Amino acid sequence: MTTHRSVSSLGTSDDAIPNRDGRLAAARSILAELSSVSRPEREHSVNNEASNLVSLGIDDLDAHLAGGLKRTGVHEVFASAIGDETAATGFVAGLSACAMRDRPGPVLWIDTLFSAQEDGLLWPPGLADWGIAPDRLIRATARHPRDALRMADDALAMSALGVVVLELRGPAPMLDLTALRRLHLGAEARAVPCFLLRFGADPIASPALTRWSIAARPGFERRSGQGYLEKPNRYLLGHPRFGADLARHRGGSLGSWLLEWCSDVQSFVAPAAVAISEPAIPPVQHRPYRQTFAA
Amino acid sequence: MTLMAANAAARTLGIVPGLRLADARARVPDMAVFDHQPDADTKAMEAIADWCDRYTPLVARHGRHGLILDMTGALHLFGGEKGLLVDVRRRLGGMGFTVQAAIASHPATARAVARFGAGGSVPESDTETVVAQLPVEALGGRETVTGLRMAGLTTIGLVIAQPRHALAARFGKPLVDALDRLMDRADQPISPRRPVPDCIAERPFAEPMTNPDAIDQILAQLTGDICVRLEETGEGARHFEARFFRVDGAVRSAIVRTGQSLNDADVIMRLMRLRLEALGDKLDPGFGFDLIRLEAHGRSRLQPVAQSFLEAETREADVAALIDQLSIRYGATAITRPVGYNSHVPERAAAYVPAQGWRVEDAGHGAVMQTRFASEPPSRPIRLFDPPALVDVIAEVPDGPPLKFRFRRVLHEVIHAEGPERIAGEWWHEPDAATRDYFKVEDVEGRRFWLYRAGLYGDETDRPRWFMHGLFA
């Protein structure tokens, strides 16, 4: 993964942490220690704090998250604008794949009856490219958001699952602070991460560990897992790219990153520096839900 | 307009089915007439048949308004033949139905005696004498009956007295067969409406039961009874059905299906409680239940499960238990897992099936699932539209990649278009399916779409249409 270290965060994270280098070094040393622990040992220490961290594949990002995304809790992922639902779906699929990489157990993906018509049917051949093998996917379709919430609740009562994804469209009044706390406590107790995928909704106060706002970003060059670059080409697509805004981070600072998903290594990677300076992109039209609905 | 049915009072006045309404009105001016509702009749018959399950699980419908109950081995539970007839007449009569009932050693005999005779119970030794007195109408078939009557044969006794070969020569084999069935000489199996359960436990109540806690307790006892019996042979069952017979004749049921055979009463009861909870108000006791029955179907040998020390195996069992639990609460079709199929047509390459019947092998056919080459971005969309949505597309040339397209009223400007990936239709399924040219396109904002053009320009069509088939992340 060393080849991708050239990336840096785009947003405010540099200003937010004064002693960033020191913490980075500390986190790296923890990571080095972690990777030296052999796998069987790691599996036995389920409640060990370090094994409950999910590496997202980008050193910079992992370090910012103090070692990786915590398994023990709820993480919220919002589509940042209308049209970014699929990008948010991909981001959650990627997070799930990372979380399931060294843990057994399937992902339970809970959606509602109309999500197949609204956003398209969650497609197993596509998910396979995002690191979720078809034999590790269970899909639950709730008639009502309330049922979806109860399904997630039931699922988080046991530790057999690898990941629970709860996908809800629109404002969900039943998903209040109490319900969120319930989910969070379940996820915390079983060390099964719960990803809340929200479309067309505004965040509310929540006990979630992190909250991400995801937008699609134009990507250009194609490269292999080893970082080989091809010339930008109108007829070739690069790896899918996201703008990921960390809008809430319990016990940590915020930031924003440009990420790509590499299907070869089945992990997030940092885009190469060339892409950022690519001049041909007009500024992205950002349409937050709030403005759209207010108008 | 003709009359379809008449009650006993009307019949005594000479009003019979088949009469014209005007003629009937002429005879009895103040007659009450109702519209014939065949669907409602069928529903009522189904409801009565459900209710008859309280006597035996072997209930078959016969014709439009007949039921045949196979009471073999169950008569003693209801005070013998006479007791059963009294009970049926009293209960159904109490609900306002007119009942003609008969018990005989053969379904055809019982039916004939109920329809054309005096009803009641026919002892096996008396079968021939009773049947001999029945009119020839009991043999069915209008032509046969007319023919017999013209020959002066008015009762079955007279018909039986004729030589068989003569009857067969004149009226054909159906008449001889009908005679044999009536005289209990030929077997005629009935086909029950519901599958026959492998195991039954039931509890009747003298006083109607409404208390949910008591109902729960009774169900737990019944589950225990069934599990003891299943355990004796080392078997389990995969389908449990609790049937609640209400005093007013309605029957409610709660079904629990599991992925694996079970004979653990606690587990079954836990699932049953989930099911009852999900049913909620639909299990309305009304004035109370007077019989609760638990049926076990799909009896099969139990998978020998040793308590495993391996984490992976207990985990698998836990996942199966969660799937059972969710399937019971939210319906088996709500919890699904993917299967792969050997097809190049994207929408046929995969599907979701109920998770309870799913096996690991189903997810396979990996060759089709994996269409991506190394260093490429995902080759299949993460979300698929089925059916594909029609979109307006502007392309450079009729067979070129799209430049702009309008999807859900938003105009997208294409920056990158990768393709075409040409996928031909499966001629063995749909001979006329158009060839599709798929393009992965990215718009200005970095959103990715999977568009295809249906039909080869100039070859299959002059105006190719474009469809949105999926979304890439």
- The distance of A24 to chain B (nearest Cα, Å) reads 30
Give B73's pLDDT tier (boundaries 50, 70, 90). confident
Which of B257, B284, B303 terminates a domain? The answer is B303
For residue B165, pLDDT over 90 is answered with no
| Whether B337 and A285 lie within 8 Å, measured CB to CB | no
Asked whether residue B420 falls in the same domain as residue B463, the answer is: yes
Q: Which pairs with CB-CB distance under 8 Å and at least 24 residues apart come from B34-43? A: B36/B4, B36/B5, B41/B65
Report yes or no on B76 lying in a domain.
yes
* pLDDT at B176 (0 to 100): 86
Q: Is the peptide bond before B387 cis (omega within 30 degrees of 0)?
A: yes
Asked whether residue B94 falls in the same domain as residue B223, the answer is: no
Residues 241-260 of A with CB under 8 A from B: 241-242
A89 vs B311, B335, B473: nearest CB: B473
Stated pTM of the model: 0.70
| Whether B350 and A147 lie within 8 Å, measured CB to CB | no
CB atoms within 10 A of CB B449: 23
Give A32's pLDDT tier (boundaries 50, 70, 90). low
Whether the Cβ atoms of residue A204 and residue A69 lie closer than 8 Å to each other: no
To test the contact with chain B by mutation, choose from A47, A82, A86, A156 the residue with the greatest count of B C-beta atoms within 10 A, namely A86
Give the C-alpha distances (Å, rounded to integers) separating A107 from A103, B204, B326: 11, 45, 15
A90 vs B410, B416, B473: nearest CB: B473
Instruction: Give percent of chain B with pLDDT exceeding 90.
Output: 20
* pLDDT at B438 (0 to 100): 93
Asked whether residue B163 falls in the same domain as residue B87, the answer is: yes
Q: Could you tell me if A111 lies within 8 Å of chain B, comparing CB atoms?
A: no
- A136-157 pLDDT, tens digit per residue, is 999 999 999 999 999 999 999 9
* pLDDT at B234 (0 to 100): 84
- Please give the Cα distance from B460 to B26 (Å, whole number): 70
* pLDDT at A139 (0 to 100): 96
- B213-272 pLDDT, tens digit per residue, is 888 999 999 999 999 998 888 888 888 999 999 888 888 889 888 877 888 889 899 889
CATH class of the A2-38+45-294 domain in this structure: alpha beta
Q: Which residue of A has its CA nearest to B414?
A: A234
Asked whether residue B55 falls in the same domain as residue B177, the answer is: yes
Residue for token pair 């207990």: B314
Region of residue A85 (phi > 0: left; psi between -120 and 50: alpha; otherwise: beta): alpha
Question: Which of A120-129, A277-286, B124-133 has the largest mean confidence?
Answer: A120-129
Q: Which residue of A has its CA nearest to B319?
A: A160
| Whether B350 and A116 lie within 8 Å, measured CB to CB | no
Tell me what the mean pLDDT of segment B7-13 comes to: 86
- Please give the Cα distance from B452 to B81 (Å, whole number): 72
B99, B103, B104, B107 alpha-carbon torsion, rounded to 10°: 50
For chain B, the domain total comes to 4
Report yes or no on B16 lying in a domain.
no
Asked whether residue B345 falls in the same domain as residue B444, the answer is: no
Domain parsing of chain A, residue ranges: 2-38+45-294
Give B407's pLDDT tier (boundaries 50, 70, 90). very high
**Residues β-bridged to residue B411:** B406
- B425-452 pLDDT, tens digit per residue, is 888 888 888 899 999 999 888 899 999 9
Q: What is the DSSP letter of A136?
A: G
What is the residue-averaged pLDDT of chain A? 79
For residue B365, pLDDT over 60 is answered with no
Domain that holds residue B365: 338-369
Residues of B in contact with A215 (CB under 8 A): 446
Residues of A in contact with B442 (CB under 8 A): 218-219, 237
Residues of A in contact with B386 (CB under 8 A): 116, 121
Residues of B in contact with A261 (CB under 8 A): 378, 473
For residue B124, pLDDT over 70 is answered with yes
Report yes or no on B332 lying in a domain.
no
**pLDDT, greater one: A2 or B35:** B35
* pLDDT at B136 (0 to 100): 86
* pLDDT at A275 (0 to 100): 42
Residue for token pair 């589950």: B223
B381 vs A126, A139, A147: nearest CB: A126
Nearest CA-CA partner of A162 in A119, A131, A123, A126: A131
Residue for token pair 């500024």: A283
Whether the Cβ atoms of residue A76 and residue A248 lie closer than 8 Å to each other: yes
* Phi, psi for residue B403 in degrees, rounded to 5: -100, -45
* pLDDT at A221 (0 to 100): 52
Q: Could you tell me if A105 lies within 8 Å of chain B, comparing CB atoms?
A: yes
Asked whether residue B100 falls in the same domain as residue B75, the answer is: yes
* pLDDT at A150 (0 to 100): 92
Tell me what the mean pLDDT of segment B34-47 comes to: 90
Asked whether residue B344 falls in the same domain as residue B388, the answer is: no
For residue A1, pLDDT over 50 is answered with no
Give the C-alpha distances (Å, rounded to integers) separating B50 from A196, B90, B110, B192: 45, 17, 20, 11
Give A278's pLDDT tier (boundaries 50, 70, 90). very low
**Kind of pairing between the strands at B383-395 and B465-472:** antiparallel
Tell me what the mean pLDDT of segment B110-132 comes to: 86
Report yes or no on B213 lying in a domain.
yes
* pLDDT at B370 (0 to 100): 67
Give A12's pLDDT tier (boundaries 50, 70, 90). very low
Strands (E), B122-279: 199-209, 235-246, 251-262
A104 vs B315, B335, B377: nearest CB: B315
Q: Which residue of B has its CA nearest to A157?
A: B322
Report the run of H or E that residue A257 belongs to, with start and end. strand A255-262
Q: Which pairs with CB-CB distance under 8 Å and at least 24 residues apart come from B255-261? A: B256/B328, B257/B327, B257/B328, B257/B332, B257/B356, B258/B324, B258/B356, B259/B320, B259/B323, B259/B324, B259/B355, B259/B356, B259/B357, B260/B236, B260/B303, B260/B320, B261/B235, B261/B236, B261/B237, B261/B298, B261/B300, B261/B301, B261/B302, B261/B303
Which of B303, B330, B361 terminates a domain? The answer is B303
With H, G, I as helix, E, B as strand and everything else as coil, classify residue B151.
coil
Give A92's pLDDT tier (boundaries 50, 70, 90). very high
Is residue B56 packed enough to be buried (19+ CB in 10 Å), middle (13-18) or exposed (0-12)? buried
Asked whether residue B271 falls in the same domain as residue B403, the answer is: no
Asked whether residue B177 falls in the same domain as residue B100, the answer is: yes
**pLDDT, greater one: A115 or A2:** A115
- B82-115 pLDDT, tens digit per residue, is 889 998 999 898 888 888 899 988 888 888 888 8
Give B374's pLDDT tier (boundaries 50, 70, 90). confident
Give B308's pLDDT tier (boundaries 50, 70, 90). low
* Phi, psi for residue B199 in degrees, rounded to 5: -155, 135
A218 vs B323, B385, B442: nearest CB: B442
- The distance of B335 to chain A (nearest Cα, Å) reads 4
Say which amino acid occupies A264: D
Tell me what the mean pLDDT of segment B376-399 comes to: 89
Residue for token pair 């209400």: B246
Whether the Cβ atoms of residue A169 and residue A199 lie closer than 8 Å to each other: yes
- Please give the Cα distance from A29 to A21 (Å, whole number): 12
* pLDDT at A46 (0 to 100): 45
* pLDDT at A51 (0 to 100): 80
Report CA torsion sign: B392, B398, B402, B403: negative
- Please give the Cα distance from A216 to A244 (Å, whole number): 9
* pLDDT at B307 (0 to 100): 54
**Residues β-bridged to residue B301:** B235
Nearest CA-CA partner of B401 in B379, B385, B417: B417
**Kind of pairing between the strands at A74-79 and A194-199:** parallel
Q: Could you tell me if A218 lies within 8 Å of chain B, comparing CB atoms?
A: yes
Residues of A in contact with B370 (CB under 8 A): 125, 128
The enclosing domain of B266 has a CATH number of 3.30.1490.100
For residue A294, pLDDT over 80 is answered with no
What is the residue-averaged pLDDT of chain B? 86
- Alpha carbons within 13 A on the beta-carbon side of B274: 23
- Alpha carbons within 13 A on the beta-carbon side of A124: 28
- B178-188 pLDDT, tens digit per residue, is 888 888 777 77
| Whether B442 and A158 lie within 8 Å, measured CB to CB | no
Helix then strand then coil, % of chain B, to nearest 5: 35, 30, 35
Helical spans, DSSP H, in chain A: 13-16, 20-36, 39-44, 59-64, 85-100, 115-118, 124-129, 145-155, 177-190, 273-277, 289-294
* pLDDT at B362 (0 to 100): 80
For residue A3, pLDDT over 70 is answered with no
CB atoms within 10 A of CB B291: 19
* pLDDT at A132 (0 to 100): 92
Residues of B in contact with A284 (CB under 8 A): 444-446
